[in-house]
Amino acid sequence: MELKFPKIKRSVIISFLILSITLAFAAGCSNGNSNQDVVASVNGEDITKNELYELMVKQNGQQALDALISQKVIELEAKKQKIVVSDEDIQKEMETYYETYGGEEAFAQTLEMSGYSLDDVKKELALNIKINKLLEPRVKITEDELKTYFEENKAQFAQQKQVKASHILVETEEKANDIKKKLAEGQDFAQLAKENSTDAQNKDKGGDLGFFGSGDMVKEFEEAAFALKVGEVSAPVKTEFGYHIIKVSEVKAAQDASYEQSKSQIRETLFGEKAQAEYSVLMQELQKEYKIENYLEKKAEK
């Protein structure tokens, strides 16, 4: 169940998709008799690991190899420039992912469904951090550019009113009224959420949904939450998901856009835009500097 409208960024670890599968089979197919390991069969006719690997190389091999070559070049150049990625660097980026995906648990669930591991994520992050550190001296952003971007996009930096709320979701109005009664008797909201809420994503956090603004939640839920004062608990609220008991714990008032408060975010945005173009230039320069032999490409030419 997802009360919030989907705003999740799906760019995490995408480059590992073809790469990791191809490498796994490449490793498996490089060990003698393992070329004939059976991965499937149809009416007793075997499909071997070698057949699967050859098909994957034919379809995606060059793309995967190009990614590996670029990765190796980045690693060597980062080592040459003595660029080090600390655990703190990686954890800082992990916190951003947790926030984007609605918490550490939700991020872990997304990883599990995608077939990736936390180690895959951290390896990809370490590589991205090295790329950024290589690009930082090459990407120049002026004060005029920052101010121009702010003026042209001022609306997106204004803070709308936000509330921080928790909820307990149940299937029936009768159950919701029963919980409302228990709360009136002094029972703990978070504990009741853990014991009763059908919202598996948030129940173990005491039903905490964090801060949200207008348009982030389904209409009935949002209207009820924004009508509450801090500390107030709602009557049962019906939505397409069931019946909610909502408690508001904090309110952030709307604020006009502030250049100084937005400056670091603007710098990050402009860096991302410029870095994409500069990355291509950097890789062209580095690929001339490092001796690269692509045997897969040579094989295809024969």
Question: Which positions of the chain have pLDDT values less than 70?
Answer: 1-36, 102, 298-302
Domain 159-252: which CATH number of 3.40.50.300, 3.10.50.40, 3.60.10.10, 3.40.50.620: 3.10.50.40
Q: Which residues of 187-225 are buried (b: 16+ CB within 10 A; e: fewer)?
A: eebbebbbebbebebbbebbbbbbebeeebbbeebbebb
In this structure, what token pair is assigned to residue 234?
């709602």
Alpha helices (H) in the chain, listed in sequence order: 16-28, 49-56, 62-80, 87-100, 104-114, 118-135, 143-152, 154-157, 173-184, 189-196, 219-227, 259-289, 295-301
In the chain, CATH 3.10.50.40 covers 159-252
The SS3 assignment for 85 reads coil
pTM of the model: 0.61
DSSP 8-state symbol, 253: -
Domain 16-138: which CATH number of 1.20.1530, 3.30.450, 1.10.4030, 3.40.630: 1.10.4030
Report the pLDDT value the prediction gives residue 298, as an integer from 0 to 100.
64
Report the pLDDT value the prediction gives residue 121, as an integer from 0 to 100.
87
Report the pLDDT value the prediction gives residue 151, as an integer from 0 to 100.
94
